[in-house]
Chain A
Amino acid sequence: AQSVTQLDSHVSVSEGTPVLLRCNYSSSYSPSLFWYVQHPNKGLQLLLKYTSAATLVKGINGFEAEFKKSETSFHLTKPSAHMSDAAEYFCVVSQRGYQKVTFGTGTKLQVIP
């Protein structure tokens, strides 16, 4: 069984300040973990993924996430928010080699000028 919890449904930051979007997961096996971004009226785009290699994963647009097995967390961070980062972010867990993919409920990131 697997599940994913995004701890905040809405996060608001000022432009130029750090971003932290929190995600905790539960999995009976070694998981793959992903962050996707969805801009308004758009499809989902992969930001970054963890698939058992380095625990600190760098993605597009300056985002990164750290896989912490002891804390079952995969939080998404960015040092400095940009207006274009305003979007919905989804944390996702899956089992490698299988089709079962579980989405979190999403975190809406608002960036204030």
Chain B
Amino acid sequence: DTAVSQTPKYLVTQMGNDKSIKCEQNLGHDTMYWYKQDSKKFLKIMFSYNNKELIINETVPNRFSPKSPDKAHLNLHINSLELGDSAVYFCASTPALGTNTGELFFGEGSRLTVL
């Protein structure tokens, strides 16, 4: 009974393609995130949504577009993929504003390889 699930787990594609990664959480959390982890294991926040509303949008190329159809889902669509987009992308969630301690609940990650 996975709490935060991401699909696909692995994705290999060519430069210039468009791809999507999906994330779903069954924890009833209000806030969801996308993080990018590079080859040096550094984790960088990309986006955060609170109850379907975008609240954090770090300096990310506009080829990356998050979509949150409801508060349990946060998908990431990437256009015109580049070599530098190769990374592991993590989805995470946290409980509602004002009640959360900052603890994040992570998915298993989606490893994207751009050739």
* A43–B107 touching, CB < 8 Å: yes
* A44–B94 touching, CB < 8 Å: no
* B43–A103 touching, CB < 8 Å: yes
Residues on B with beta carbons closer than 8 Å to the beta carbon of A51? 101-102
Residues on A with beta carbons closer than 8 Å to the beta carbon of B40? 105
* B42–A105 touching, CB < 8 Å: yes
* A46–B97 touching, CB < 8 Å: no
Query: How near does chain A come to B61, taking the closest CB pair, in angstroms?
Result: 21
Assuming the contacts A34-B103, A92-B102, A105-B42, asked whether A44 and B90 have C-beta atoms less than 8 A apart, the reply is yes
Assuming the contacts A92-B102, A99-B55, A99-B56, asked whether A106 and B107 have C-beta atoms less than 8 A apart, the reply is no
Q: How large is the interface on A (under 10, 10 to 19, 20 to 34, 35 or more residues)?
A: 20 to 34
Closest residue on chain A to residue B45 by CB atoms: A101
- A38 CB-CB contact with B under 8 Å: yes
Within 8 A of A (CB), among B26-69: 31, 33, 40-43, 45, 48, 50, 55-56
* B101–A99 touching, CB < 8 Å: no
A43 in complex: contacting residue of B41, B45, B56, B108, CB < 8 Å: B108
* B101–A44 touching, CB < 8 Å: no
Assuming the contacts A96-B102, A97-B98, asked whether A43 and B90 have C-beta atoms less than 8 A apart, the reply is yes
- A88 CB-CB contact with B under 8 Å: yes
| Distance of A100 Cα from B101 Cα, bound (Å) | 11
Residues on B with beta carbons closer than 8 Å to the beta carbon of A49? 101, 103
| Distance of A43 Cα from B93 Cα, bound (Å) | 13
6 A-B pairs with least C-beta separation: A94-B102, A32-B102, A43-B108, A43-B106, A44-B106, A103-B43
